[in-house]
Amino acid sequence: MSSYDSERAAALHRHLHSHLPSDPALRVKTLESLVVERGLVAPETIDAWVEAYSEEIGPKRGAAVVARSWTDPGFRGRLLEDAAEAIKEFGFEGSATGHLKAVANTPSCHNLVVCTLCSCYPFSILGMSPAWYKSTEYRARAVREPRAVLAEFGVILPDAVGIRVWDSTAELRYLVIPERPEGTEGWEEARLAALVTRNAMIGAERRLRVG
């Protein structure tokens, strides 16, 4: 049973800080040994999770969802209405997508997603989050100077295009639907999906490159 005692948690952190090895690989190895011995997890199960999020679950899932939103107006409607339900059509629901919200870019509005308080991310639809998304720099700056942040990704927005920054402070998670690039009329879903990048689905990219 947990104590829910904030000061006890802080005291444990301070004590561990001066007793754990400095190498993170050794710290995690010690943690793994203890939870395996306790019977909370088997090492093979950890292998399977690494494989799942290296090979099976990643931004290709989100890209498939975005591509269908471009080709199937009915699906787009369902996605914008309730993304957590709509991604079940692909079987992509899972970790941190129980309250997924899709937000669509338009010619006059660009969406950008951040979690300033930790690093919340829709894992089951986008896979592991990039290092920059979890950085103190991004968490601090995205809400205050989104235009300067976007410029570092090469996205220069005219003043007339508004930016809406979504700070994931609750259990909602956000998926940005980029605009469909021109010159892709008649393309099939799979070909369209190959254009959709992870960064675009976070809002750190705006114009998808064709070919």
Partner 1 sequence: MDTLHDLGGREGFGPLPLDGQDQPFHHDWEGRMWGIARTCRVRSITIDWFRHGLERMVPADYLTQSYFEKWCATYFALLIDAGVFTEADVAAGTLATPGTPAAPMDLAEVLAINRASHASFAVEPTAPPRFALGDRVKTRRHIAAAHTRLPAYARDRVGEVIAHHGAHVFPDEGAHGRRVADHLYTIAFAATELWGETANPKDSVTLDLWERYCV
Q: Which residues are catalytic?
A: 115, 118-120
Across 69-99, b (16+ Cβ under 10 Å) vs e yields bbbeeeebebbeeebbebbeeeebbeebbee
Q: Which helix (H) or strand (E) holds 173?
A: strand 173-177
Nearest-approach distance from CB 125 to partner 1, in angstroms:
10
Cβ-contact 63, 194 below 8 angstroms: yes
- Rounded-to-integer distance, Cα 95 and Cα 98, Å: 8
Determine the distance from the C-alpha atom of residue 35 to the mean position of all C-alpha atoms in its chain, rounded to a whole number: 27
Instruction: Give the nearer residue to partner 1 in terms of CB position, either 90 or 191.
Output: 90
Q: 3-class DSSP state for residue 175?
A: strand
Least distance in Å: CB of 183 to partner 1? 26
Cβ proximity to partner 1: between 20 and 210 the closer is 20
Nearer to partner 1, 78 or 147 (CB): 147
As measured in angstroms, the least distance from the Cβ of 77 to partner 1 is 17
101: three-class secondary structure by DSSP: strand
Q: How far is the CB of 199 from partner 1 (least distance, A)?
A: 10
The Cα–Cα gap between 187 and 67 comes to 10
Q: Among candidates 138, 149, 87, 96, which has minimal Cα distance to 120?
A: 96
Select 67 or 115, whichever has its Cβ closest to partner 1. 115
